[in-house]
Structure formats: structure tokens, C-alpha cells
Structure 1
Amino acid sequence: MATLSSKLDQQLAQVNQRLKAAQLGIQIERRGQRLNLRGTLPPRPGTQRLRPHQQRLSLALPATPAGLKQAEIEAKIIAAKLLDKSFRWQDYQTVPSLGFLGALSLAEQVAAYEDMFLRVGDSSSRRTTWQTAYAPYLRQLLHHAAAHPDWALPELIYTLLEQLPPHRRQRQVACTALQGLCRFLQVELPIPLSRFWGHYSPNRTQERQLPEDSTIVAAFAQIPHPGWQYVYGLMATYGLRNHEVFFCDLTGLANGDPQGRIEVLATTKTGSHYVWPFPPQWIDVFQLRSPRLPQINTDLSTTPLQRIGQRVNQQFRRYGIPFRPYDLRHAWAVRTIHYGLPDTVAARMMGHSVAIHHRTYHRWLTLRDQQQAVARVLAQQGDALELNL
């Protein structure tokens, strides 16, 4: 073994001598059982370097005579690309079992990006994000590529974005998905996608007509199934997202905790957090101390959170509930404002930032809500004046 290694090192020295004599500026290195190239190469995409500098480039070639022969060929090819300024780092980014990323078709590149995306972070939430925010626009990109096989990737991306309505959230989501793909492929677009972002803001969205508390209580009776009644009651009382209902620790609630606190588990979209009932009286109104969730598939290895949430939407439509499930969450948020719950606490219970909480919910206070709040404050001041007299 030592003899074979020494012989390979001798061959490597001879190859490097030839490359040096040809003034190609590229050398081959043996690092363990693999061969790499080393030379003055352009900065990698995403780095802070601005000028070419000494870097290594992995070839995924074995340290064998055959691998060395191929490495010498690659060194000459790369040297030629450097001369005519056609060298691209993405051509040498490897994908396990697939080879160089730059040599793959666009469909294979998107599949590799999906695999990488889903392997980072929490699998259930990443899978939901991929299916709802990334996959739709990447599928559209592949349709464009099939219809225009001669178009370059930037042209496909720009055409897709221009077909989406400007100043809308869907264009921003598309920009995010496509920018992620470009970053993965190490492709620098000639026109930044920020130019297509637009001026969308959640504040532009149409305000919802939230159901009054009396309407929420009355609609509970429209649900004949005890399990879906329980889902409805939990969402109304705790402001839960559709899927969160099925991923809660209800032990304290079932055991008679006087505050009725529950825990939304870490398997949900925004991680573990505690929630208190508003109003607490609804624990008894909706009989929430006796958990009876319906039997549905909550195995996140086979069922994404989005699909679980869709089941709730389907049941609301089935039972003729006159508002959407998420309206229960929004009504809960506005209700906590009337109770005087600090935004920092309410936002934590809802699993989002204070900025999002304030921007989303404070603007939904209707004239009726404001009148009730003013009347309550004036009544409190009147009581205080009577005490002072």
C-alpha cells in the first residue's frame, strides 16, 4: 500500500510539473484518498472577497492513477475557463449520488435543492414551508423551462415574476423561493430580485369582519361531532392555529389547572409556547376539561402540517360555520387587547413577534371595539370619582 501511495505521489509531482511548465496556474493536491485542485480562482458566490485568490476546488475524484489522469484534464479545462472568464463555481458544486450540480438538468437541480431544504431544521415545519411557499413557484419555473428550453435561468425567473401581480404577497414569496434556488446553485442574477419585490405590506390587506363572541358561542352548537366541537372550542378559547389543536399538551387543563394553561408543542410551526384562555369562562362553556380530539393522521413523517390544517377548514365548511377557522384566532387576539394583556405576552402566546402582533391586530379594532373600550375606561374613572367624593 505504501509503495502504491509513493508511486502515485511521484506521478502527481510529474503532472504538476507539466501544469507548471504550461503556466496554467493550477496544481493538483492529494488530500487523503481524494484529489483536489488548487489555484487562483474567482471569489465564491456569497463571500465577502472581491478579487481572485488561492482556493481549493473539490473534484470528487479518487486518489488513483485513473483519477489523476482525469484531474489533469480538469485542470486544463478550468485553466481555459479562467482565461476566457467562463469559470463558474456552481459547475463544480457536487450533489451526493448525482455528481456536479452544474451538469444537472434544471429539474434535477430543483430536486437537489428540495432535498437540501428539507434536511435543514425541523422537518415538519420545513416540509410545510416547502409545499406552500416554494414548490408552487418552482413548479411554475420548470413549466416555463419546458416551454422555452433555450432560455437561460435568469430569463425564466424574470418572466415568471413579471407574470405575477405586482405589490402582492405571492410575488414576494416567489422572489424568496427563486432567490433561495439561485443561492443554492450559486447563480448571480444580473438584475437583483429585490427589483421585483414591490411595495406589498400586510397593512394593505383587507381587514376581516371578525365574529362577535356571541356568534362564536352560538356556532358551537352547529357542530354535531364531539371531537370537532372540541377542536372548535380550543381554537376559540386559546387562539390556536388550525394544526396546533392536534399538537398540544392538555394535561393541566384536564387535571383542573385553575388557570387552564395549555402548551403548544415544539412540533408545530413556531415551536413550544404556553397559552392561557381568553375568556377563561369558555373552558366550561365548551367543556374543554374533557379532551376528545377527533382521530386523524398526525404522523408528521407522512402528513404535513398544512394537510392537518386543511382538515379543520373542511370541517368548518361541512358544518356551515359562518366564518373561517383563522377568524377564531384573530378574534382571540383582539379580545386580549380588550383585556389589557401586554402585546409582548399575547405575541408570545400566539407564536410570533411583537411587531407582527401589533401590525396585524391593533389595526383590526373596529369602531364598536373602540367604543366599548372608551366606555369601560370612562366607567372606571366615574367609579374612582365617586370614591374620592
Structure 2
Amino acid sequence: MTNYTYDLRNAEWDGTPIDHWEPSKWKQWKSKHSASDADVKIEREYLRIKHAVQQANAALSLDRVKIKLKLTSAKTIGLQGTFPCRPGDVGKNGSPSKQYTISCGFYANDVGVKTAIVKARELDLLLITKQFQWTPELLGKQAQKIALIDDETPKKIISELIQEYEREFWKNHEKNRQGISTWETHYLRHLKKLPQDVPMSLEALEIALEKTNPNTSSRFFLVWQLKKFCDFCDINGLKIINAYATPKPHPSFRKVPLDEEVIQGFSKIGMPLSAYTSKEKFTQPEQWQWVYGMLATYGLRPHELFAIDIPAFLDSANSFHLITLNPSLTDGTKTGERSCGVPPLYPHWVELFDLKNVKLPHNAGTLSNKTAKLHIRFRNTDIGFRPYDLRHAYAIRGHRLKVPIKTMADYMGHSVQEHTKTYQRWMNEEANLEIYREVVIHRQGTTKEALKARISELEAENIALKAENATIKGLLVQHQLGELLS
């Protein structure tokens, strides 16, 4: 039995796609499958019905019937013709009529063809006698979705539509921390720009789009989300959305701190701020510094701080100071558990930052709120970079230390492709120059020293061989003289 995802319209034989094949020659269709293959039978049946539709349309034309049959898919037949505009629709140049393809649920088989012919003649008669009306049967799914069909039905406001949209979202997403973050960050964040207490309209779309600036990531992702939301609401807003569309902007420049700057930031993150006050215990300097040190030493994502297995980290048997993550503490991490413990690339930083003296914040609030406070602290102390920049610095540090890319990707909890695409592109000129000094110049210097030592060894060996050769020559001369005297 053929797979339900099989699309027979992609079939071809001898370089000819199936939709370019003459339907009347359907018996000659072979495709690239064997004659007994079920897919070939389906392809031939598709061509046979397509030929039957052509014959039916030719007969309708002879009878001057203006409604025609159309094979709308491999399994369905629709009716195509010019009808009065649907409620809320307008024809070209303001015309009261427009061409539509109506789906009446006719299957693509012999019975479906015959039934479609009868319906085509019926609709044509209604048009001729000016008795045609758009019924729920002809409107199909739009009968339930387009509010303009029934003016007495109150329109749902945007906030209600967003709630329905969210329910649809959870049908295909797991409701865990990652799923909630996806909904709030990639969906709700953009939909909140729409006015919430009015029905969905083109004006509402424009209000949301005007809240973003051109050529920004905010505008780009808002456009992307509004297209999906309009499709869900069955609202045709493509024209106005595309008018505000902007290409995806290039990533902004990221400041990746050098090791010296990381060490300086450790002191700075714990400094008291007169302009920044909070009742949260999370604002204690020692807690800020411990969190900062863990991010810098292990290259963690900010939210992963709260997934650290503290007992395992403090275990006396953990001589390499590895950390492991327990996703259950945060209802899942971004990419699940790492396949290995995460090591400090600079083991001496564990002592420098006093990381074994754990001061993990235990403030209340959601995980998003906890990580948000960390971002705010970085900004208010004017360190010069963001929490995630310490993760990028960790990646570059591994490259300088010549840790294999696959190993670094495992340490950081992502794929090799993600590692090379996202992290190494942030290497600025200074970081690249530092890597060049450490990897190339250092290696070259080591090679020169080795060559000099080898040359000295060879020279000494050459002198020894020359001395040995002179000794052998002397013995040979003495031997020859002895033979002459005898």
C-alpha cells in the first residue's frame, strides 16, 4: 500500500512530468516503477480521470455551459467559473463578478466526474436565471470562518483569537519549559503588538507593524508571525503585511571579551550600585560573582545555571571540577542533557573565582525572570558585554587551546554545525590575531628550536664520524706498510 505522503504529481517517466503527459495516453504511462507497483496504478488512474475531466469539459462547452470541471488535487474535483463575488470580496477593477474554484467534495473517480457534471449544469442554470446565491455548501470552510457571512454574528476580538491560536499551538508542542518559552518568545511576544480588544482587521495589522522599525529583526519576525496568524484566522492580509516586509537583518556585532576582560568583569559584577536597589536576595555581590564565574568558566547558557547538579560538582571525587546538568531542575534545558560533563578550560579559574564555595541564588520567580535579572545586572554594572558573550568567549578559548571542534560542541551542548556557524563567527580581529600568535607563531618557534637542536646533533654526529673515518684510514695505512716490509 502506498504511503499517504506520496505526491503522484512529482512522478515522471522518460523525462516527462506526469502533468505534462497527454491524459488520453494514460495506458502507456509507465513511470519509474514496475507495472505491478501500487503507485503506478494510482498514477494511471489520475491520468485516466484527468482525461475524463477533459472529455466532460468538451461536452459542457458544446452545450455552452460556462462552468467547468477542474481536478483540484489527485483526489478531488472542483468546479471553476465566473460567479458573483463572495460576501466581503471584490472583483478586479471593482467588478461584481470574479472567477472562483468551488470545492463541493467530489472525489476524483467516475462517480465524482458524473456528479460534478450535474452540479456544473445546475449552477450554470442558476447563473443564467440570476438565481445564484452563495450557500454554506458552496462556501465550504469559509462559511464557518468568515465573519462577514453573517453580520448578526458577533466578531471575536483579537485576544480571543490569540487564545484559540495558543490552543492550536499546544496540539503540536510539548507543554514544558522549552515549549512555553517558544510560545512566549516567538509567538505571543509579537502578537501582543496587535490591539487586543478589537476584531481582526487590516487596520489592526497596520497598527502592529507600525510599532516596529524597518530593517530590524523585530519587524522581520513580526511579519513572519502575522502571516501565520492571518492564515489561522483566514484573513487575507498579505498585501499590507508584504508592504512592511523587510529582509532579515545581519546579526549585530557581538563583543567577545578577552580573558583579561573576563577577570576584570568578575570584580566589577559585585560592585554595589547606588542607582540600583532591589529587595531581592539575588542582588548580593557574592551571588552575582559566583554566577558570573560559572558562566565564564564553563560557558553555560544563563538559564543552565539553575540546572547544575551541585552535589556532584562539590563531590571530592570530582577532581577535574566537571559540572553536570540536571534538566529536571528547570523542566528541561535547551538541548537536553549533555553527553558528557562540562570541564573548565582554565581549571585555575575554579579557585580564582571561588566556585566551590557555591552561592547559587534561590530567589523566587520563573526561570525567565531569574535570567532576566542577570541580564539587567550586566547592563547596570556597565561591564561592556552580555552574559551570553561569556559563552562565546568559552568557545573561542577552546579553539585557542586546540580542543577538537566535536569535543567543544559536546561541552557546549549543541551540534558541530551550530558550533562552527554561530560561535566561531564572533571571533573579532583581536581574537583571531591572538589565536594566530598562539597556534601559528608558537608552533613555528617550537619548530625552529627543534630544528636547531637537530642540526647540533647532526653536526656532532658528523664530527664523530669524521674522527672514526680518520682512525680507520690510519689503521689501513699501517696494515699496508706492514705487508710491504714483510
Q: TM-score, normalised by structure 1?
A: 0.65
Distance (whole Å) between structure 2 residues aligned to residue 323 and residue 350 of structure 1: 20
Partner of 2:58: none
Partner of 1:108: 160
Matched, 1:329 2:391: yes
Partner of 1:375: 437
Q: Any gaps of 5 or more consecutive residues in structure 2?
A: 1-70, 79-102, 107-132, 147-152, 271-283, 455-486
CA contact (8 A) 1:43 1:53 kept: no
Matched, 1:294 2:361: yes
Partner of 2:61: none
CA contact (8 A) 2:104 2:140 kept: no
CA shift for structure 1 position 382: 2.9
Distance (whole Å) between structure 1 residues aligned to residue 427 and residue 238 of structure 2: 44
SS in 2 for 1:170: helix
CA shift for structure 1 position 104: 3.6
CA shift for structure 1 position 236: 0.6
Partner of 1:126: 179
CA contact (8 A) 2:396 2:427 kept: yes
CA contact (8 A) 2:313 2:323 kept: yes
Indicate how the Cα distance of structure 1 residues 138 and 53 shifts in structure 2: closer, same or farther if over 3 A, else same.
same
Q: Which of 186, 200, 211 matches 2:248?
A: 200
CA shift for structure 1 position 159: 5.9
Distance (whole Å) between structure 1 residues aligned to residue 241 and residue 343 of structure 2: 42
Partner of 2:142: 88
Q: Which of 200, 211, 223 matches 2:257?
A: 211
Matched, 1:245 2:305: yes
Q: Which of 165, 168, 173 matches 2:213?
A: 165
Which residue identity lines up with residue 379 of structure 1 in the other structure? H
Distance (whole Å) between structure 2 residues aligned to residue 258 and residue 159 of structure 1: 59
CA contact (8 A) 1:91 1:103 kept: no
Indicate how the Cα distance of structure 1 residues 189 and 315 shifts in structure 2: closer, same or farther if over 3 A, else same.
closer
Distance (whole Å) between structure 1 residues aligned to residue 446 and residue 140 of structure 2: 80
Indicate how the Cα distance of structure 1 residues 245 and 285 shifts in structure 2: closer, same or farther if over 3 A, else same.
same
Distance (whole Å) between structure 2 residues aligned to residue 269 and residue 122 of structure 1: 14
Q: Deviations over 1:96-126 (max 9, x none)?
A: xxxxx99643321112223443573142223
Distance (whole Å) between structure 2 residues aligned to residue 121 and residue 342 of structure 1: 34
Distance (whole Å) between structure 1 residues aligned to residue 395 and residue 216 of structure 2: 25
Which residue identity lines up with residue 80 of structure 1 in the other structure? T
Partner of 2:344: 277
CA contact (8 A) 1:90 1:186 kept: no
In the TM superposition, 1:3-42 aligns within 5 A as none
Which residue identity lines up with residue 295 of structure 1 in the other structure? H
Which residue identity lines up with residue 333 of structure 2 in the other structure? T
SS in 1 for 2:324: strand
Q: Any gaps of 5 or more consecutive residues in structure 1?
A: 1-41, 56-77, 93-100
Q: Which has the larger radius of gyration?
A: 2
CA contact (8 A) 1:237 1:278 kept: yes
Matched, 1:254 2:300: no
Q: Which has the higher contact order (CA 8 A, sep 6+)?
A: 1
CA shift for structure 1 position 193: 6.3
Matched, 1:139 2:187: no
Matched, 1:360 2:419: no
CA contact (8 A) 2:313 2:322 kept: yes
Distance (whole Å) between structure 1 residues aligned to residue 155 and residue 369 of structure 2: 35
SS in 2 for 1:292: coil
CA contact (8 A) 1:235 1:328 kept: yes
Which residue identity lines up with residue 164 of structure 2 in the other structure? A
Distance (whole Å) between structure 2 residues aligned to residue 370 and residue 82 of structure 1: 67
Which residue identity lines up with residue 142 of structure 1 in the other structure? P
Indicate how the Cα distance of structure 1 residues 48 and 186 shifts in structure 2: closer, same or farther if over 3 A, else same.
farther
Distance (whole Å) between structure 2 residues aligned to residue 50 and residue 344 of structure 1: 53
Indicate how the Cα distance of structure 1 residues 122 and 210 shifts in structure 2: closer, same or farther if over 3 A, else same.
same
Matched, 1:178 2:230: no
Partner of 2:266: 220
CA shift for structure 1 position 136: 3.2
SS in 2 for 1:221: helix
Distance (whole Å) between structure 2 residues aligned to residue 364 and residue 190 of structure 1: 36
CA shift for structure 1 position 48: 9.8
> How many residue pairs were aligned?
303
CA contact (8 A) 1:89 1:186 kept: no
SS in 1 for 2:189: helix
Matched, 1:384 2:447: yes
Indicate how the Cα distance of structure 1 residues 294 and 370 shifts in structure 2: closer, same or farther if over 3 A, else same.
same
Partner of 1:35: none
CA shift for structure 1 position 232: 0.9
Partner of 1:313: 375
Distance (whole Å) between structure 2 residues aligned to residue 367 and residue 321 of structure 1: 21
Q: Deviations over 1:2-26 (max 9, x none)?
A: xxxxxxxxxxxxxxxxxxxxxxxxx
Q: TM-score, normalised by structure 2?
A: 0.53
Which residue identity lines up with residue 269 of structure 1 in the other structure? K
Distance (whole Å) between structure 1 residues aligned to residue 224 and residue 406 of structure 2: 28
Distance (whole Å) between structure 2 residues aligned to residue 322 and residue 166 of structure 1: 27
Indicate how the Cα distance of structure 1 residues 336 and 89 shifts in structure 2: closer, same or farther if over 3 A, else same.
farther
Percent identical residues: 28
CA contact (8 A) 2:298 2:343 kept: yes
CA contact (8 A) 2:158 2:194 kept: no
